[in-house]
Structures are given as structure tokens and as C-alpha cells.
């Protein structure tokens, strides 16, 4: 970002220049034209890195958490916060299976996550305290991680009941969305939010985001009703028929795809700004790939490897959806 000459401070402020490939603008209003995107050149480089690493680790822990569940390692460490009664680290005996190490490794990754979040909070307190919209998300990030530690602990204590396991995933999804928000805010100013598309398109995008949230929640309900709901050997189930909830989940995806195309088309027709189009194209492409993985894993009887890919793509989907919604407006440097 910082090396891009278009990010030079000399270009601050709204621009009416079109960035459409044809070079023709269909709008005379500056509000729906190309945004002025750049991060603050005065910020130390580590600040941007802290925000990026935080997002990557938030996505990564969804995958390692999935690995724990899919390899049946959830009770590898049978107690929490201690791994085995009286000890915080695994006790290696001849009969010890790999599960204890998978679960313990995932717990260790939590420390990386806490370090990344601490770096973000430190960056905000040291360099961004004067800016709008950072303190509250920083507090939410900390609270979310504390909530995850508590939910993770309860999940172990209730023998991985699916309701707690799926809450664990959903709080992670919220933390990913929050991390994307922070990164987007870092790359813009503190001026008032300027819409890059008409209000009706933004309203349609909000409806699409709500349907996207329903897709994700229904996905966790499918998981909670199937063989990967928690403990691999004696999984408790939410009690729904997997086939029914899986089709409901897939139908919500089809609705989501239709709405995404509608938002993308509307953004193309009503705005010369490139960012909204790009963001919704990325979201659409990711959704199609995720849809193919979803149908394939359903047809193949949910093999663990594909389910893990589906989880990674679900985490990326949350990030892309958050970015797509935020790409419909921009804050210039005040
Ligand atoms: C935008 C597209 C999609 C998103 C964002 C999405 C999201 C999710 C999420 C978040 C989960 C729960 C992950 C977990 O808690 O471990 C899930 C599970 C699942 N999804 Fe999707 N999904 C999508 C498309 C599809 C499609 C089209 C199908 C086709 C039927 C599908 C089938 C499944 C199945 C069978 C599971 C349960 C896998 C398991 O056994 O754990 N998904 N999905």
C-alpha cells in the first residue's frame, strides 16, 4: 500500500476522476466516483503488519480448530485450562495418541492469536488513539478473544456439545469480520463516510450480507447435525435431519449468489468506482468455489479433508463479505 505512488498525500480529498475502463463517467456526482484510498504514510510499517497478521491468525485458528474437531482430538486434553489433571502440558506415555498434541497445538496457537491481538491493541493505543472508530473495535477484539477462551473451555466441559462448538465458530466469524473492518479503516481517513453507490444499492448489499450470515449459521447447523458435530467417537447431535438442513443451507447459498450478482451489476451501472465492483467480484468468485466444495463434500459423504477446505473457505467468505460491504463507501482523509 505504502509504495503505491497513487497513495501519495498530495492526492488527498474527493476525486471526480473516472476509473472506468472506457474512461467515460455515467455519474456527475463525486460521491459515486473513484475513492481516494491510501494508508497514512506516517504510520510505522509494523502497525499495518500487526493488523494483517491478526486477520491471518483469526482465519488460521478456524482451520486448526477444525483440524482438532475433524481428527477427533477435541478431548485430547481432557481438562481446561490444564491439559491433563494437574498439568498444563501433555504427559507423554506409551499409550498417548496424537490427539493430545493436536489439541495442545491448537491451544498454543491461541497464544499467537493473543500476541497478534495485543500488537493491534498496542498499535491503536500508541498510533491511532486520535483517530475515530478504532478504540471500540479494539475493545471488542479483546472481549471476543476472552469469550472464545470461555466458550472453548465450556465446550470441553460439556463433552463438545454441538451448540457450544458452533458458537465457537460463529464468534470466530465475528472476530474475522472485526479484523477486516480494522484493516479497511487503517487504509482510509476519518472524514465522513461517502457512499460510492446509491443508497438503494447499499440497502441491497445489507440484505445480501444478512443472507450471507444466515448461510454461515445454517452451515454450522448442518455440521452440528452430522458426523462432525463435536466428539468424533460419540458425537452429540443437534437433532435435525442432515439432508434437510444441508439443502436449506444450499438454498440460502443460491439466494445469496443471486443477490451478489444483483449488487455487483447495480454497482457497475451506478458507479464509476472500481473498488465496489472488484470487492463484489471477489466475493462472487469465492462463493462459487465454496458452493462447488459444498456440493462435492455433500455428495461424497462429508470427507474430513474437504470439510476442512470448506471451513477455510467459510472463514475467507466472512472476510470477503465484510470487505464487500465496506467497499461501498469510503472515508477520505479529513
Ligand atoms: C457461500 C457458500 C457457503 C458457505 C459460506 C458455507 C458455510 C458453511 C459453514 C460455516 C459450515 C460449518 C462449518 C463448521 O462449523 O465446521 C458449513 C458446513 C457445511 N456445508 Fe456449507 N457453505 C456454503 C455452501 C455450501 C453448499 C452449496 C453446500 C451443498 C450442500 C454446503 C454443504 C455443507 C455441508 C454438508 C456442511 C457440513 C460439513 C460437516 O460435516 O461438517 N455448503 N458450510
| Atom number of ligand 1 nearest to Cα 318 | 5
328 C-alpha to ligand 1 centroid (Å): 27
| Assigned domain for 106 exists | yes
Question: What is the distance between the alpha carbons of residues 273 and 326, in angstroms, rounded to a whole number?
Answer: 13
Separation between Cα atoms, residue 79 and residue 239, nearest integer Å: 27
Using the CB atoms, write b or e for 244-255: b if 16+ within 10 Å: ebbebbbebbee
Same domain? 46 vs 176: yes
The total number of structural domains that make up the chain: 2
Best residue among 169, 213, 222 to mutate for probing ligand 1's pocket (most ligand atoms within 8 Å of CB) is: 222
Say yes or no: 180 and 207 in one domain: no
Which of 187, 217, 240 is the C-terminal boundary of a domain? 187
Same domain, yes or no: 106 and 156: yes
Cell numbers standing for residue 42: 506516517
Residue 97 belongs to some domain of the structure: yes
Q: Are residues 133 and 211 in the same domain?
A: no
Cα→Cα distances 165→151, 155, 224, 226, Å: 8, 6, 8, 13
Are 225 and 333 members of one domain? yes
Of 130, 152, 187, the last residue of a domain is: 187
Identify the residues whose C-beta falls under 6 Å from ligand 1: 66, 166, 169, 215-216, 219-220, 222-223, 226, 228, 246, 249-250, 253, 256, 287, 290-291, 294-295, 297-298, 302, 307, 310-311, 314, 317
Output the pLDDT for position 316. Answer: 98
Tell me the whole-structure pTM to 2 decimals.
0.86
| Summary count for the chain: helices (H), strands (E) | 8, 2
Q: Are 207 and 330 part of one and the same domain?
A: yes
Tell me whether residue 200 is in a domain.
Answer: yes
Q: What is the pLDDT along the chain (334 residues), one digit of tens a residue?
A: 333 333 333 333 333 333 333 333 334 344 565 444 445 677 899 999 999 999 999 999 999 889 888 887 867 787 877 888 888 888 776 556 788 888 888 888 888 999 999 999 999 999 998 888 899 999 999 999 999 989 988 988 888 899 999 999 999 999 999 999 999 999 998 889 999 999 999 999 999 999 999 999 999 999 999 998 877 677 778 889 999 999 999 999 999 999 999 999 999 999 999 999 999 999 999 999 999 999 999 999 999 999 999 999 999 999 999 999 999 999 987 7
Could you give the C-alpha distances from 315 to 34, 71, 101, 219, in angstroms and in order?
29, 19, 24, 12
The closest residue, in CA terms, to atom 14 on ligand 1 is: 220
For residue 148, give its domain range: 42-187
Q: Looking at the structure, tell me whether residues 180 and 75 fall in a common domain.
A: yes
Report CA(310)–ligand 1 centroid distance (Å): 6
Cell 458435530 sits on residue: 229
Q: For residue 37, tell me if it sits in a domain.
A: no
202 occurs within a structural domain: yes
- Residue 294 Cα to ligand 1 midpoint, Å, equals 6
The grid cell for 92 is: 507423554
Closest-lying ligand 1 atom to the alpha carbon of residue 246: 30
Q: Which of 187, 202, 220 is the last residue of a domain?
A: 187
In this structure, the answer to whether residues 80 and 144 fall within a common structural domain is: yes
pLDDT at position 95 is 59
Task: Return the C-alpha cell found at 150.
Answer: 470461555
- Shared-domain flag, residues 203 and 327: yes
pLDDT on residue 105: 83
Question: DSSP state, 24?
Answer: -
Cell of 142: 479483546
Distance CA 69, CA 99 (A): 10
| Rounded CA separation 22/52 (Å) | 34
**For the chain, how many residues are written?**
334
Secondary structure (DSSP) of 73-129? -TTSS-SSSSSBTTBSS----TT--THHHHHHHHHHHHHHHHHHHHHHHHHIIIIIT
**Cα–ligand 1 centroid distance for 130 (angstroms):** 41
Amino acid at each position: 500500500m505504502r509504495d503505491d505512488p497513487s497513495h501519495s498525500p498530495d492526492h488527498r480529498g474527493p476525486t471526480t476522476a473516472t476509473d472506468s475502463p472506457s474512461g467515460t463517467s455515467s455519474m456527475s456526482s463525486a460521491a459515486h466516483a473513484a475513492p481516494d484510498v491510501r494508508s497514512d504514510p506516517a504510520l510505522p510499517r509494523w502497525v499495518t503488519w500487526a493488523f494483517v497478521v491478526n486477520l491471518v491468525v483469526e482465519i488460521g485458528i478456524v482451520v486448526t480448530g477444525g483440524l482438532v474437531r475433524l481428527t477427533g482430538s477435541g478431548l485430547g486434553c481432557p481438562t481446561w485450562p490444564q491439559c491433563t489433571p494437574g498439568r498444563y502440558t501433555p504427559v507423554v506415555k506409551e499409550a498417548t495418541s496424537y490427539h493430545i498434541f493436536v489439541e495442545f497445538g491448537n491451544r498454543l496457537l491461541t497464544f499467537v492469536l493473543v500476541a497478534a491481538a495485543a500488537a493491534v491493541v498496542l498499535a491503536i493505543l500508541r498510533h491511532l488513539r486520535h483517530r475515530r472508530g478504532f478504540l471500540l473495535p479494539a475493545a471488542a477484539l479483546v472481549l471476543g478473544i476472552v469469550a472464545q477462551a470461555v466458550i472453548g473451555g465450556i465446550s470441553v466441559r460439556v463433552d463438545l456439545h454441538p451448540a457450544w462448538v458452533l458458537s465457537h465458530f460463529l464468534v470466530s466469524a465475528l472476530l474475522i469480520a472485526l479484523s477486516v473492518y480494522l484493516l479497511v479503516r487503517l487504509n482510509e481517513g476519518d472524514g465522513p463516510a461517502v457512499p460510492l453507490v446509491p443508497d438503494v444499492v447499499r440497502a441491497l448489499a445489507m440484505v445480501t450480507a444478512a443472507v450471507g450470515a444466515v448461510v454461515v449459521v445454517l452451515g454450522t447447523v448442518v455440521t452440528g447435525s452430522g458426523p462432525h458435530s463435536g466428539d468424533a467417537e460419540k458425537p452429540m447431535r443437534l437433532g435435525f435431519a442432515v439432508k434437510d438442513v444441508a439443502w436449506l443451507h444450499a438454498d440460502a447459498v443460491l439466494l445469496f449468489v443471486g443477490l451478489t450478482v444483483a449488487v455487483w451489476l447495480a454497482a457497475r451501472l451506478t458507479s464509476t468506482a472500481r473498488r465496489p465492483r472488484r470487492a463484489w467480484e471477489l466475493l462472487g468468485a469465492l462463493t462459487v468455489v465454496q458452493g462447488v466444495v459444498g456440493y462435492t463434500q455433500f455428495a461424497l459423504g462429508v470427507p474430513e479433508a474437504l470439510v476442512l477446505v470448506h471451513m477455510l473457505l467459510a472463514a475467507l467468505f466472512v472476510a470477503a463479505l465484510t470487505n464487500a460491504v465496506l467497499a461501498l463507501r469510503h472515508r477520505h482523509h479529513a
